[in-house]
């Protein structure tokens, strides 16, 4: 079962030139569409007589993205956050109309809760929480001295933001739209082709652990990336919405099949290391029909339909060969190894067939809605990290609020608003201090460009057409930088700083003193957000959170051993993949943290799935009551060991599993339980796994020990 390594491709000069030109065209298309949306939103806001057209214009920059689906998804959640924030602002002002201190306390707490909630979600769902926080500040802070005006303020902000979202959505959906569905389809096809090629290329023998770790990382990234894309594409495409649950099922079946695939190869590797070549080679012979079935070109559109009957025939052939190959085993230990591997192999081929069947359903011209099993992709969130984000943001807002009250600074509200925006916006990034300082530098440069634009360019022009001509070159600089991987954060700061400081209105005023005071207040707000990340470091990306996430990952074995069975397979797989994806994104590739994570992930995946299958078999079939205490003790000790691994817990778990195996072996008709327990015990005794650190002596690392 060796991995296949493709030869390095020689870059083609023509291909490089074409790709470069395509990339440049994509960048400038993004710039042009964003400029159209920016100025169209401003023109409409002025025509409708809205009090702050700049809010609608700034909204188009915040939701800007190359992909139309991303713009629509971000706009959808921004709209939800804006409505929620406006409602919260009205409630806070109504509750404390005459109590400025309590008003600021309630507002700060609301903003903090929203920042904490943003850390619990991925993609643009977190953005809705960020918007809910700073929209409340945008609505409530300006009317702190005029509480009756809060309703008008809320309606105005809602109108401006929703107008900006509507214009961005229309422009990106009409002007040379770039569809996310194409990216989603390509990602799904690549996941499918890569996994089948990997399975096909793994039929010849053992697979090195390093290759398995690399494959596991690829499987994790593929599964999480596909779910992230699916959650965005449903906003731009009706067909994608109709196939959304089928795509979730496709992804869940991929995770299940890849976990069984890993367990199978760990088993074969262990047998070979223990010099139990007869059992290993017999399992490889049993595995061979899968490789034969997959020896067809894996191309988009027809691959799954072609593969389904071939996999069905392979499964039938394997079932027919099972007793014949088993009869060649004359050693009790070889027989037990073979039975365990054969059971795992048949589980894998069933899951592989189900995965290919899901692919065939997705490739069909029409999908019948509701025909697929309803599944969900659960996430691995950390509530304590969210609490830390809540505390930090609340404290920052309270400090700024107290400073505003104590100093009676006329521009204090502007500082609070900027601190609110950036404290929430970057609460979910792995290194918010660095990102905030880079954005702040870009923001300063954008404001400097805004000063030149407003007082040296716009004062010489009249009419909206010339206003567009005067601002567009300055804004385009920031938009181009936003598309650069190295200058993206700087460009975002430039564009936001320019749009915010210009503060375009129906009747534009040119007041250098007010401009400079407002710029100082905005810098203070940005600086306060950056300092807050230094004083109270975020959990995301920290060693503290990685340790908690690793503990949560190990705790997935306890989930597998003790949680209710309905939906447990899907929950176990999706949370595992999400947790691994989070930690991998926040660790240096090849580092000790990264290697420890992968090692634990492989152990958790294998043991957890074996326990889930064991519990399902216990629930489906009659198990003698005399066996239940031994089985439950094995489940309990394994759960406790993975939650808090130590040598003593390892011995308890190892011995409990051995006792359960011996007890089950005394009862006829319980071979299905024995196979799962034997797989768990082999994983416990794997000298190359992360569990080797808890083994009492080295000899167990060299052989597979069987219960007598």
CATH code, domain carrying 187: 1.20.58
Q: How far apart are CA 224 and CA 350, in angstroms?
A: 23
299 and 423, same domain (yes or no): no
d(CA 662, CA 659): 5
In this model, does residue 155 exceed pLDDT 60? yes
528 and 624 fall within a common domain? no
Q: Which pLDDT score is estimated for 5?
A: 40
- Window from 64-78, 269-283, 615-629 with minimum mean pLDDT: 64-78
Instruction: Give CA angle at 163 (31, 150), nearest 5°.
Output: 130
Average pLDDT in the 559-586 region?
81
Confidence of residue 103 (pLDDT cuts 50, 70, 90): confident
Please tell me the predicted confidence (pLDDT) of residue 370: 46
Q: Indicate if 265 and 384 belong to the same structural domain.
A: no
Measure the CA–CA gap between 226 and 219, rounded to whole angstroms: 11
Residue 536 has pLDDT above 80, yes or no: no
pLDDT at 298: 61
> What is the residue-wise DSSP string for 486-541?
TTHHHHHHHHHHHHHHH---SS----HHHHHHHHHHHHHHHHHHHHHHHHS--STT
Confidence of residue 687 (pLDDT cuts 50, 70, 90): confident
Q: Which residue, among 681, 684, 74, has the nearest Cα to 336 in the 3D structure?
A: 681
Q: Would you state the pLDDT for residue 235?
A: 64
449/554 same-domain check: no
* Residue 121 Ramachandran class (φ > 0 left, ψ -120 to 50 alpha, else beta): beta
- Assign 703 a pLDDT band (cuts: 50, 70, 90): very low
Does some domain include residue 3?
no
Q: Residue 445's pLDDT is what?
A: 94
- Geometric angle at alpha carbon 564, from 561 and 567, rounded to 5°: 105
Number of H-type helices and E-type strands within the chain: 25, 0
Q: What is the mean pLDDT of residues 642-656?
A: 92
User: Whole-angstrom distance between the N-terminal and C-terminal Cα of the chain?
Assistant: 30
Please choose, from the candidates 57, 51, 53, 54, the residue with its C-alpha nearest in 3D space to the C-alpha of residue 37.
Answer: 57
Contact 680, 657 (CB under 8 A): yes
pLDDT: which is higher, 118 or 235:
118
Contact by Cβ (8 Å): 449, 498 = yes
Mark whether 294 and 263 lie in a shared domain: yes
Q: Which residue has the higher pLDDT, 651 or 702?
A: 651
Which of 464, 401, 381 is CA-nearest to residue 101?
A: 401
- The tally of domains found in the chain comes to 3
How much is the mean pLDDT over the chain? 81
Question: Angle of helix 53-62 relative to helix 13-47, nearest 10 degrees?
Answer: 160
Last residue of a domain, one of 504, 535, 566: 535
Tell me: do 276 and 341 sit in the same domain: yes
163 against 75, higher pLDDT: 163
Taking 3-state DSSP, the helix, strand and coil percentages for the chain, each rounded to the nearest 5, stand at 75, 0, 25
- pLDDT average, residue stretch 37-42: 93
pLDDT greater at residue 104 or residue 216: 104
Pair of tokens at residue 343: 């059971």
| pLDDT tens column, 433-484 | 788 888 889 999 999 999 999 999 998 888 888 999 999 999 999 999 988 8
Quick one: 608 and 526 in the same domain? no
Q: Quick one: 524 and 406 in the same domain?
A: yes
Query: What does the pLDDT look like over 277-313, one tens digit per residue?
Result: 888 888 888 888 888 888 776 654 456 778 888 889 9
Q: Is residue 83 in some structural domain?
A: yes
How long, in residues, is the chain?
708
**Is the residue at 135 inside a domain?**
yes
Nearest to 118 by CA among 376, 416, 381: 381
Share of the chain above pLDDT 90, in %: 15
> Poorest-confidence range of 197-206, 221-230, 248-257, 345-354?
197-206
The token pair that represents 658 in the structure block: 């051995």
Residue 639 above 90 pLDDT? Answer: yes
- Residue 372 domain flag: no
| DSSP output for 1-23 | -PPP-PPPPPPPHHHHHHHHHHH
317 and 188 part of one domain: yes
Q: Exposed (0-12), middle (13-18) or buried (19+): which is 107, by Cβ within 10 Å?
A: buried
Same domain, 163 and 200: no
pLDDT (mean) for 10-35:
77
Highest mean pLDDT among 369-383, 538-552, 669-683: 669-683
**Phi/psi at 450 (nearest 5 deg)?**
-65, -35
Of the two residues 543 and 549, the one the predictor is more confident about is: 549
Q: Cα–Cα distance between 584 and 299 in angstroms, integer?
A: 30
At 77 the pLDDT is 79
Asked if 661 contacts 574 with a C-beta cutoff of 8 angstroms, the reply is no
pLDDT value at residue 701: 37
Domain boundary among 337, 363, 389: 363
Is residue 201 located within the same domain as residue 340?
Answer: yes
Q: Does 46 map to a domain?
A: yes
Residue-wise pLDDT for 161-215, tens only, equals: 889 888 988 898 788 777 777 777 888 888 888 888 888 877 655 556 677 667 7
Which residue, 511, 535, 559, sits at the end of a domain?
A: 535
201: helix, strand or coil: coil
User: Token match 């360019």: residue?
Assistant: 457
And the tokens for 491?
Answer: 């460009």
- What is the model's pLDDT at position 377? 62
Is the domain of 307 the same as that of 348? yes
**In angstroms, rounded to a whole number, what is the distance separating the alpha carbons of residues 189 and 43?**
43
Tell the residue number behind the tokens 């300092």, with chain if given. 531
19-28, 49-58, 454-463, 585-594: the lowest-pLDDT one:
585-594
The predicted structure's pLDDT at residue 204: 54
Structure tokens of 49? 């007589």
Q: Measure the CA–CA gap between 223 and 306, rounded to whole angstroms.
A: 24
For residue 700, the model assigns a pLDDT of 40
Give residue 322's domain range: 182-235+244-363
Alpha-carbon distance of 346 to 478, in angstroms, equals 56
Mean of pLDDT values over 657-677: 83
3-state secondary structure of 456: helix
Indicate the pTM of the whole model: 0.73
Burial status of residue 669 (CB atoms within 10 A of its CB: 0-12, 13-18, 19 or more)? exposed
């Amino acid at each position: 079962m060796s991995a296949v390594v493709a030869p390095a491709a020689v870059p083609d000069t023509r291909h490089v030139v074409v790709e470069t030109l395509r990339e440049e065209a994509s960048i400038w298309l993004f710039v042009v569409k964003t400029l159209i949306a920016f100025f169209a939103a401003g023109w409409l806001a002025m025509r409708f007589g809205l009090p702050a057209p700049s809010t609608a214009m700034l909204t188009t920059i915040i939701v800007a993205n190359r992909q139309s689906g991303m713009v629509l998804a971000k706009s959808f959640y921004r709209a939800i956050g804006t409505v929620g924030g406006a409602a919260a602002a009205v409630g806070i002002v109504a509750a404390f109309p005459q109590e400025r201190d309590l008003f600021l306390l309630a507002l700060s707490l609301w903003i903090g809760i929203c920042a904490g909630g943003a850390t619990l979600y991925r993609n643009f769902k977190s953005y809705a929480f960020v918007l809910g926080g700073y929209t409340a500040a945008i609505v409530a802070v300006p009317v702190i001295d005029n509480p009756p005006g809060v309703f008008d303020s809320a309606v105005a902000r809602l109108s401006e933001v929703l107008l900006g979202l509507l214009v961005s959505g229309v422009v990106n959906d009409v002007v040379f739209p770039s569809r996310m569905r194409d990216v989603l389809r390509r990602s799904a096809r690549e996941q499918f082709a890569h996994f089948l090629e990997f399975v096909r290329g793994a039929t010849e023998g053992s697979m090195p652990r390093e290759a398995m770790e690399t494959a596991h990382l690829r499987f994790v990234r593929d599964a999480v990336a596909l779910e992230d894309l699916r959650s965005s594409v449903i906003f731009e495409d009706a067909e994608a919405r109709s196939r959304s649950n089928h795509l979730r099922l496709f992804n869940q079946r991929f995770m299940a099949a890849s976990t069984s695939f890993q367990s199978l190869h760990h088993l074969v590797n262990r047998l070979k290391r223990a010099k139990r070549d007869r059992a290993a080679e017999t399992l490889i012979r049993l595995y061979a029909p899968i490789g034969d079935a997959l020896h067809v070109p894996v191309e988009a559109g027809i691959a799954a339909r072609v593969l389904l009957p071939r996999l069905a025939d392979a499964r039938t052939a394997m079932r027919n060969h099972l007793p014949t190959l088993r009869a060649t085993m004359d050693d009790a230990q070889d027989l037990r190894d073979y039975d365990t591997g054969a059971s795992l192999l048949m589980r894998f081929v069933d899951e592989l067939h189900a995965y290919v069947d899901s692919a065939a359903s997705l490739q069909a011209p029409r999908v019948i809605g509701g025909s697929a099993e309803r599944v969900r992709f659960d996430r691995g969130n950390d509530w304590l990290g969210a609490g830390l984000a809540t505390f930090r943001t609340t404290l920052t807002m309270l400090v700024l609020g107290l400073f505003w009250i104590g100093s009676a600074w006329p521009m204090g509200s502007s500082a609070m608003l900027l601190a609110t925006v950036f404290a929430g916006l970057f609460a979910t990034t792995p290194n918010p201090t660095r990102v905030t300082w880079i954005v702040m530098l870009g923001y300063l440069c954008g404001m400097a460009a805004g000063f030149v634009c407003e007082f040296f360019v716009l004062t010489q022009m009249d009419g909206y057409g010339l206003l567009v001509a005067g601002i567009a070159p300055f804004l385009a600089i920031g938009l181009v930088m936003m598309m650069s991987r190295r200058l993206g954060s700087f460009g975002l700061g430039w564009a936001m700083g320019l749009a915010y400081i210009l503060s375009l209105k129906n009747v534009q005023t040119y007041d250098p003193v007010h401009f400079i005071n407002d710029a100082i207040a905005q810098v203070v707000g940005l600086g306060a957000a950056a300092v807050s990340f230094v004083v109270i470091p975020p959990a995301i990306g920290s060693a503290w959170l990685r340790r908690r996430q690793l503990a949560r990952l190990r705790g997935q074995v306890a989930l597998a051993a003790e949680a209710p069975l309905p939906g447990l397979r899907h929950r176990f797989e999706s949370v595992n993949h999400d947790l691994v994806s989070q930690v991998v994104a926040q660790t240096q590739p090849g580092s000790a943290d990264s290697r420890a994570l992968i090692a634990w992930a492989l152990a958790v995946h294998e043991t957890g799935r074996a326990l889930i299958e064991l519990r399902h078999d216990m629930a489906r079939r009659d198990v003698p009551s005399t066996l239940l205490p031994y089985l439950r003790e094995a489940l309990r000790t394994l759960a406790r060991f993975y939650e808090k691994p130590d040598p003593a817990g390892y011995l308890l778990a190892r011995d409990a599993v051995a006792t359960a195996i011996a007890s089950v072996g005394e009862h006829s008709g319980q071979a299905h339980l024995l196979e799962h327990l034997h797989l768990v015990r082999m994983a416990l005794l794997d000298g190359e796994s992360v569990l080797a650190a808890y083994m009492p002596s080295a000899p167990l690392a060299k052989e597979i020990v069987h219960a007598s």
